[in-house]
Amino acid sequence: MKITTSLLSLLTLLILIACEKAEQRETEPELPNVVLLLGDDHGWDETAYNGHPDLKTPILDEMAANGLRMDRFYSASPVCSPTRGSIITGRHPNRYGTFTPGHSIRPEEISVAQLMKDAGYATAHYGKWHLGPVKAGSPTNPGAMGFDEWVSHDNFFEMDPPLSVNGAEPVIFKGEGSEVVVAEAIKFIEKAKREGKPFFVMIWYGSPHEPYSGLEKDLSPYDHVPEKYGDKKVRLTSNETGKAVERPQGEVLRERFAEITAMDRSIGQMRDFLEQQGLRDNTVLWYFGDNGTPQEGNATVPFRGQKGSIYEGGVRVPSVLEWPAKIKSPLVSEANGVSSDVLPTFCDIVGVSLPDRPLDGISLLPMIKGEMQERPSPIGFWNGRDRGDGLEPYIEEDLQVGTTPLVKLMGGIATRNFKNYHHPSIEDRDFSGARSWLDHRYKLVLNGGPAEDAEKELFDVREDPAETNNLIEAFPEIAKEMEEELISWQQSVLESLVGGDY
């Protein structure tokens, strides 16, 4: 009798535990999947939904119509490598010496992929990396930054891209470049689904970066473009020689538009796959560009500046986000967002603590919920640079040598090598370079040397998005306050640069 009673008690206890766990599973929210897509040199106006007169981008248009359209989203830098670093770290790229293309990230940086992996995600990267070599042994390859798998390129790529699989010697993947990386990402997602794991996937396109090429089906809708945009000559890379060449802008735009259309189609392929697999409802699908339109593609940009400039034309980019489980009706946000917000946003969504070091991004989860009318803090932009006076390399030179070939030759070589340097101290000249401070309405721009010598401009970007009317004399107190905030932020960035965060 005693044994029977004990067994009944044990059975009752096990049933209660099982019921409690089942109830807990029902109340705990399911972790969302994430697919983050990044265009290469894709400026704000180069979508049909933003009013481009020629481009056909039906998938991005659909995402903008059904999900969250971020009308004031910015790249942290007007050039690619620094922006990519901001996505990975949530920090301005000057904090870790990723000043310009060809500067690597630093191994000590904490990556959003590492944080998501620790939260139980399967993580993978596809396409352009450009934060150091993707080869095995590189201390800054995608694997070192928290990605379980990667099929990646050191830099940009076109048709039939040569890609490295998990750091191996690159191999040719036949096909249209954007479709190739999406197809590889889909294989990874299928694997993650079989293993019952949520996935965190980054797809960083090689399009629409020059040199341009396109399938006939993507070129033909733009047959009218050469005549419309005329014979103005622009400079870009030749697909035949890898060297600089001048060509009529109309011809170049036809090919550039074809690349954007192919990229758009590949996003549709991902959306369709997620739908077919029953994954789309709880997948965050987020697309944005890494900087503004480059000079050879600048024909319809409504803003001042272009790629390389901290004016709106260099840093304002298209951004759309879908998450059907949470975004039930279309949203349009006029609040400022920036690429540095990626890490804090996903930490917030997943419930992961932020890294214990200075961050420049904030969580955009309130924006996704439709609750953010204004960004609570300004955004700093800064084209910083190395001093160029014999600084010590941060990473051994052989570890910074790239392996994946590309069309464009630089210094006679068809690959890209990287660099990063120790900065031992902070000097007045380190505050130089084009920089700006953007709040909800005003944008302060400083060009040149330290603040006392810099050329200063103040714009009301809500009323004057083209930045044509300098208000520096009309609102000196606003400019002074913003300048003090900018200098304080620069000081924080430089303290990180000299190693204060490690």
CATH of the domain at 237: 3.40.720.10
The region, left, alpha or beta by phi > 0 then psi within -120 to 50, assigned to residue 242 is left
Torsion of Cα atoms, 43 then 49 then 175 then 256, to 10°: -40
- Are residues 258 and 328 both part of a single domain? yes
The β-bridge relationship of strands 122-128 and 149-153 is parallel
CA-CA distances (angstroms) from residue 70 to 187, 213, 270, 372, 477? 30, 29, 21, 12, 30
> Range of 482's domain?
423-497
Mean pLDDT of 98-102: 97
Q: Summarize pLDDT for 16-62 with one digit per residue, the tens.
A: 445 554 444 444 569 999 999 999 999 999 999 999 999 999 999 99
CA distance 146 to 396: 21
Give the domain CATH number at 453: 3.30.1120.10
The stretch 483-497 carries a mean pLDDT of: 98
pLDDT of residue 388: 79
Stated as kind and residue range, the H or E segment containing 445 is strand 442-447
The last residue of a domain, from among 347, 381, 415: 381
Indicate the burial class of 101 (C-beta count within 10 angstroms; 0-12, 13-18, 19 or more): middle
212 Rama class: left (phi>0) / alpha (psi -120 to 50) / beta:
beta
Q: Find out whether 239 and 251 touch, Cβ atoms under 8 Å.
A: no
Residue closest to 202 by CA, chosen among 48, 361, 343, 386? 343
For residue 451, the model assigns a pLDDT of 85
Using an 8 Å Cβ cutoff, are 395 and 420 in contact? yes
Q: What does the pLDDT average to over 68-78?
A: 98
Q: How many CB atoms lie within 10 A of CB 257?
A: 25
List pLDDT tens digits, range 182-217. 999 999 999 999 999 999 999 999 999 999 999 999
Do 347 and 297 share a structural domain? yes
Rounded to the nearest angstrom, the gap between the alpha carbon of residue 149 and the centroid of all alpha carbons in its chain is 19
Query: How high is the pLDDT of residue 9?
Result: 53
Q: For residue 97, tell me if it sits in a domain.
A: yes
Q: Respond yes or no on whether the N-terminal peptide bond of residue 161 is cis (omega within 30° of 0).
A: no
CA distance linking residue 478 with residue 472, whole number of Å: 9
Residue-wise pLDDT for 403-443, tens only, equals 999 999 998 999 999 999 999 999 999 999 999 999 999 99
The total number of structural domains that make up the chain? 2
Does 4 score more than 90 pLDDT? no
Q: How far is CA 93 from CA 82, 174, 343, 406, in A?
A: 5, 34, 14, 24
pTM: 0.94
Side chain identity at 83, as an amino acid letter?
T
When pLDDT is cut at 50, 70 and 90, the band that residue 230 belongs to is: confident
Average pLDDT over residues 55-72: 98
What integer pLDDT is reported at residue 15 of this predicted model? 52
Q: How far is 196 from 293, CA to CA, in rounded Å?
A: 40
**Where a domain ends, among 363, 381, 399?**
381
% residues pLDDT > 70 (the chain): 94
- Tell me the pLDDT tens digit for each residue of 298-307: 999 999 999 9
Does some domain include residue 278?
A: yes
pLDDT in tens, 286-330: 999 999 999 999 999 999 999 999 999 999 999 999 999 999 999
Report how far residue 267's alpha carbon sits from residue 51's, in angstroms, rounded to the nearest whole number: 20
